[in-house]
Structure 1
Amino acid sequence: MATQRIPVILVTGFLGSGKTTMLNHLMRDSADTRIGVIVNDFGSINIDALAVAGQVDSMIPIENGCLCCAADASEMDEMLARLTEPELRIDVVVIEASGLAEPQSMIRALLSSTNERIVYGGLVEVVDAAEFGDTRARHPELDRHVRAADLVVLNKTDRVTEDERDDLLETLQEIAPGAPVLTAAHGRVDPALLFDHQPREASEERFRQLSFADVCADGHEHGHHLHAAYDSVEFTSAEPLHPQRLMAFLDSRPVGLYRVKGFLHFAGAGSERKFGLHAVGSYLRFQPSPWEPGEPRVTQLVLIGTGIDADALTKRLAECAVTATEEIDETHMMGVLRYVDAAD
């Protein structure tokens, strides 16, 4: 079976947007996920790393099973190699970029990495709602950063009025039409929107995504958690899917649908491999792997978002199933293969 590669998620945003606060929440609320963290700061005193880990060192074990590395850009590849050593059993790596970092450059660095244990997991841009106008005036490149993001987090919405928030959401859509935008206060973002995790103690299960119960396994009441604001839709199909219709669905998914994850069984040329699907916002990636002997060849997906129509989504996915009279050839898989890394 192909080795599962570790997703590396970039978190960017200008100074004061709340990246470190969001990162701390993600680590605290992901008790079942081992997170490797690289804080990419260029100052002589790495304040962000201090906030994340309580001290600065090349590698710091954190009580909840996370690891934190303080690194500059030249050390990033070395840090990734160290964080992805199998004995550390890391599930996901988050890079918190410097407030002055250039997202496109960091994306290129990750895509060109020779580390076979990692895969690029998408770019999350954190935007300060309260200081948006001033930040945009000081840093006109903010628009370009928003357009490069797979998911925009409009943070600190507790510091603006509802009308101001709506105006900001409209402005962000003007900057990047169709970009998924998630509102947050105090950097609180549900880890299930960003992280895939298959608990190691449940590895014998054929399909196991990080559920909202997993994310919030601290015993608090349901209504107090972030996930109370989100909808989760599960889809299973024993019939193979038409790859072109599945791509049409993914290309036109509604704005409120932030996450799609799971495994796909395609018809035709793609049927001999299982395709893992990972989508965060506009970011999309497929990872093929062999079917295990005796493994049921079914499609199993989890879709997470706000204001989504579960029945409509399920109906559209069901319509992706292949009919008995259809013939599928290699050309039908071309759209899918565009989003598969050459290494796969």
Structure 2
Amino acid sequence: MSDRIPVTVLSGSLGAGKTTLLNHLLGAAGDRDIAVLVNDMGDVNVDAELIAEGSEVDVAGVTELSNGCICCELQDDLETAVVRLARDRSFDALVVESSGISEPAPVARLFTTESRVAAQYRVDALVTVLDTRRFLDAFGDDDVPTRQGTDADGRPLSDLLVEQVEVSNVVLLNKRDLCSDAELDRAADLVAALQPDATTIPTSFSAVDPDRLVGIDAFDASELATLPGWKRALADAGHGGHGEADHAHGEADHAHGEANHAHGEANHAHRHPDEVYGVSSFTYRRRRPFQPDRLAEALRSLPADVVRSKGTLWVAGSDQRQQVGQAGRSVRVTAQGPWIASRPSVERDMLRSNRPDLSWHDEHGDRETAYVVIGTDLETDSIVDRLDAALVTDEEWERVRAEDELSGVEEFPTTPGDEVVLREP
């Protein structure tokens, strides 16, 4: 075990119970000396004041970072604060509470890269606190009020909520007293779909044994926590013979009807092992591009039972790899840069030589759709049929090969890093 100070990074939406949890941890710490660093977006750090008032801990044990977010603009301040904290006092563990709109991964990364911080600290666990009722509402039916807002950048908070869960080692299903047993089971299974290796702990008023959150050595720095559910499903679908799968893709391209339907049956047969409460996943792969207008409509009309979906899309008429990210009602697409196959030959050959495991098709190169869908009681065949209907027809395919323009390309971003919102909560 390292002699560096263990760090628990605490995240969760506004009102989920993070401050209540910190007061509980400080009050129940026993012989363990816990230091706390609190981040708040306002110029007055309300959380720090509440912690200082609600605990018998010496106020010196609570460090404040205000008027900004520690996952981005306050990174330098965070580094300075934790180094100074280790220099000024002795303690057994540090808990960093990020603001309700912070991403935990960039915060954890500060403690894992080679720096003066990493020399003194190690990440012990990433912990997310959920308001379980609101978590279920965020991924409920269309007629359920979502009660969602947006962060400072205009991004739906449902996106951030999913990202906080996907990197977690431990998830507290807080406010369990407001949920039925069936709802708690469903919430736990949704968490398992988003992050299969996370431990879920139902709590009321964030009351949990500190030994289950602090000093548990649950963090794997090599992957910034283990792969989230959608990446794992994509990786699993990609294993087991890319060669045969790519050959089947090629056959489907030349016979879009029966061959493509059969290929769809093979692809969406991959399902998550933990389908306990109706949560499952499948991976949709195709080496035929989408017609832009029909794809945009298909993504906008994803059914309510799709909780999370993410992947790379091949859109006809665009040389950009389009990455789609959907969480609840939010659907966003980001341009990830050109396909390797669309680059100049010298650059293309160099990139291919550096990536020996790259799946490559003789005609299409690396162009391919690989899209993971996670949800509850999924109508898989219906979703696959909807996506298949958005692929280019044989006639449109000939136009694409002749480099004729197709309508709807403007629905998707054209510059690497740019983002287009297809649906908002």
TM-score (structure 1 length as normaliser): 0.52
Is 1:140 the equivalent of 2:184?
no
Is 1:41 the counterpart of 2:43? The answer is: no
Deviations along 1:48-101, one digit per CA (max 9) or x if unpaired, are 11111139xxxxx9546970011143211111012112x621111100100001
TM-superposition CA deviations, 1:163-220 (whole Å, max 9, x none): 2111211222222224211111110111111233xxxxxxxxxxxxxxxxxxxxxxxx
CA distance in 2, matches of 1:132, 1:44: 28
1:279-310: CA deviation from partner (whole Å, max 9, x where unpaired): 33xx2479xxxxxxxxxxxxxxxxxxxxxxxx
- Report the residue type matching 2:28 in the other structure: D
CA distance in 2, matches of 1:131, 1:190: 24
- What is the aligned residue count? 196
Matching residue of 2:89: 88
Task: Report if the CA contact (8 A) 1:8-1:122 is conserved.
Answer: yes
Does the aligned pair in 2 maintain the 1:62–1:68 contact within 8 Å? no
Output the CA distance in 2 between the equivalents of 1:37 and 1:177: 28
Report whether the alignment pairs 1:177 with 2:196. Answer: yes
Shift of 1:122: 1.9
* Contact 2:170–2:213 under 8 Å retained in 1: no
**Are residues 44 and 66 of structure 1, via their aligned partners in 2, closer, same or farther at CA, if it must alter by over 3 Å?**
closer
Q: Confirm whether residue 15 of structure 1 aligns to residue 19 of structure 2.
A: no
1:69 to 63, 69, 72: 63
Q: For the Cα contact (< 8 Å) 2:124–2:214, is it kept in 1?
A: no
Match of 1:106 in 2: 107
AA paired with 1:108? Answer: R
* Aligned residue identity for 2:129: V
| Distance of aligned partners of 1:132 and 1:165 in 2 relative to their CA distance in 1, 3 Å threshold | same
Q: Work out which of the residue numbers 150, 165, 176 in structure 1 matches 2:169.
A: 150
User: Shift in Å at residue 3 of structure 1?
Assistant: 7.9
More relative contact order in 1 or in 2 (CA 8 Å, sep 6+)? 1
**Structure 1 unaligned residues grouped into runs of 5+:** 56-60, 197-258, 260-278, 287-344
1:123 matched to 2:102: no
1:305 aligned partner = none
Shift of 1:157: 0.5
Aligned to 2:81: 79
Residue 71 and residue 80 in structure 1: after superposition, are their counterparts in 2 closer, same or farther (change >3 A)? same
Q: Distance in 1 between matches of 2:98 and 2:92?
A: 19
Distance 1:104 1:65, change over 3 A: same
Distance 1:82 1:157, change over 3 A: same
C-alpha distance after superposition, 1:16-49 (max 9, x if no partner): 1100101100000012111111001120121111
Q: What amino acid is the match of 1:54?
A: E
Q: Out of 63-72 and 142-151, give the one that drifted further.
A: 63-72
Q: Which residue of 2 aligns with 1:233?
A: none
| Counterpart Cα distance in 2 of 1:180 and 1:191 | 14
Cα deviation for residue 4 of structure 1 reads 1.9
Percent same amino acid among aligned pairs? 30
User: Could you tell me which residue of structure 1 aligns to residue 180 of structure 2?
Assistant: 161
Equivalent residue letter for 1:119 = R
In structure 2, the CA distance between the partners of 1:32 and 1:14, relative to structure 1 (3 Å rule), is: same
Secondary structure, counterpart of 1:131 in structure 2: helix
Aligned to 1:216: none
Deviations 1:312-340 (A, max 9, x none): xxxxxxxxxxxxxxxxxxxxxxxxxxxxx
The separation in 2 between residues aligned to 1:77 and 1:63, in whole angstroms, is: 23
Distance in 1 between the 2:33 and 2:198 partners?
29
Contact 2:174–2:205 (8 Å) recurs in 1: yes
- How far, CA to CA, are the matches of 1:51 and 1:172 in structure 2? 29
Q: Distance in 1 between matches of 2:2 and 2:21?
A: 30
CA distance in 2, matches of 1:140, 1:18: 17
C-alpha contact (below 8 Å) 1:36/1:92 kept by paired residues = yes
- State the alpha-carbon separation in 2 of the partners of residues 191 and 97 from structure 1: 18
CA–CA distance in structure 2, aligned partners of residues 17 and 135 of structure 1: 14
Q: Any unmatched runs of 5+ in structure 2?
A: 140-145, 149-156, 223-425
TM-score w.r.t. length of structure 2: 0.43
Q: How does 1:47-58 map to 2 (within 5 A)?
A: 47-54=46-53
User: Aligned partners of 2:53, 2:19: CA distance in 1, in Å?
Assistant: 12
What is the RMSD of the two structures over their aligned residues, measured on CA atoms? 2.6
Distance (Å, rounded) in 1 between the aligned partners of 2:79 and 2:41: 16
Q: Is the 8 A contact 1:35 1:66 kept in 2?
A: no
Change beyond 3 A, Cα 1:169–1:53: same
CA contact (8 A) 2:103 2:163 kept: no
Q: Greater CA radius of gyration, 1 or 2?
A: 2
Give the match for residue 387 of structure 2. none
Q: The residue matched to 1:110 in structure 2 has which SS?
A: helix
User: Are residues 175 and 195 of structure 1, via their aligned partners in 2, closer, same or farther at CA, if it must alter by over 3 Å?
Assistant: closer
Q: Secondary structure at the match of 1:99?
A: coil
